[in-house]
Every structure is written in C-alpha cells, then in structure tokens.
Amino acid sequence: MIFRTLFQGAKRSRRGVAQRGGHPVTGRTGFTLIELLIVVVIIGILAAIAIPKFASTKEKSYLATMKSDLRNLVSAQEGYLADSLSYYSGAIPSAALAYRPSTGTTVTIVTATASGWQATATYAGTSRACAIFYGNVAPLSPAVVSGEVRCQ
C-alpha cells in the first residue's frame, strides 16, 4: 500500500524500474555538475565581453562632462563680458564668475583678454583633456574652431 502511494501513476519498465513519463523515478532532483560548470563558463564569457564596454562608457561620460563644463563656461564668460567689458581671467571657481565646474572636473582659463579667451578642462578619472578658445585669440590645441570644444 505504501509503495503504491509513493509511485502512484508510475509504470514498471521491462527491467523492473519505476518510470513516470518515460524517465526513471530515482527520487533525486537538481542539476549535474557539468550543467553548473557550463552555466559558470557562459557567465564568464558574457562578463569578459561586458567589462571592456563598460570601461569605454565611463571614458565617454568623462569626456561629455568636460565638454559640458566648457560649454557652460562660454555662457558664464559672455555674461561676465556683458557686465565687465572683458572676459574673466582668474581662477575657477570664483565669486566674480557665476560658474562652477562639475565635481572632478578642473577647468583652467589659459588666456583672457577683452577680445577672447582660451580654456582647458581635465577630469580626475582620465588622462584626456578638452580645450576651447573663443573670440580673437590663437587656437588652443586640440581645439581648432572658435567656440567649438575638442578633446584629445
């Protein structure tokens, strides 16, 4: 009676092994070691593909931050020019200039006159730098067009 309730619905094969749905009923469930190893290898391959892409994404975000900060500096410099009739040439950040770069970004004004200015931006997480020049001043490498931010 107990045997019948344990294997209810199971049939006996020619060898005398209880089967259900064509598979032997052994009482064990779970994954084999080889199945688990295959899953670990697949996850490792996917991680090896994803990690370099993540690193390049971080680099792109640092460059975007530097470009954005230099574009914001253009607006701040134009506001300062309207008030003072010359571009700001001091240190950043400053109470005299209504501008504050993003955290981790260092913006340096290289040259500033009444007719134009040059600035660079660096970020703590990368060795690359961005530059801009505006107005009637010499180009600052890697920038080649006035008012356009360029990065190395």
Is 72 within 8 Å of 102 (Cβ atoms)? no
CA atoms within 13 A on the CB side of 18: 11
CA distances from 45 to 9, 36, 42, 135 (A): 43, 14, 5, 51
Predicted pLDDT of residue 3 = 47
Predicted pLDDT of residue 106 = 95
Name the residue ranges covered by the structural domains of the chain.
33-151
Give the pLDDT of the chain (152 residues) as one tens digit per residue.
Answer: 454 444 455 555 555 555 556 666 666 778 899 999 999 999 999 999 888 888 788 889 999 999 999 999 999 999 999 999 999 999 998 999 989 999 999 999 999 998 999 999 999 989 999 999 999 999 999 999 999 999 99
Predicted pLDDT of residue 18 = 55
Residues facing residue 134 across a β-bridge: 117
Is 101 within 8 Å of 81 (Cβ atoms)? no
CA atoms within 13 A on the CB side of 30: 6
What's the rounded Cα separation, in Å, for the pair 84 and 88? 9
pTM, two decimal places: 0.67
Q: Of 75, 151, 83, which Cα lies nearest the Cα of 117?
A: 75
Is 130 within 8 Å of 120 (Cβ atoms)? yes
Cα-only R_g, the chain:
34
Helix (H/G/I), strand (E/B), else coil: 14: coil
Predicted pLDDT of residue 1 = 47
What's the rounded Cα separation, in Å, for the pair 29 and 12? 20
* DSSP 8-state symbol, 21: T
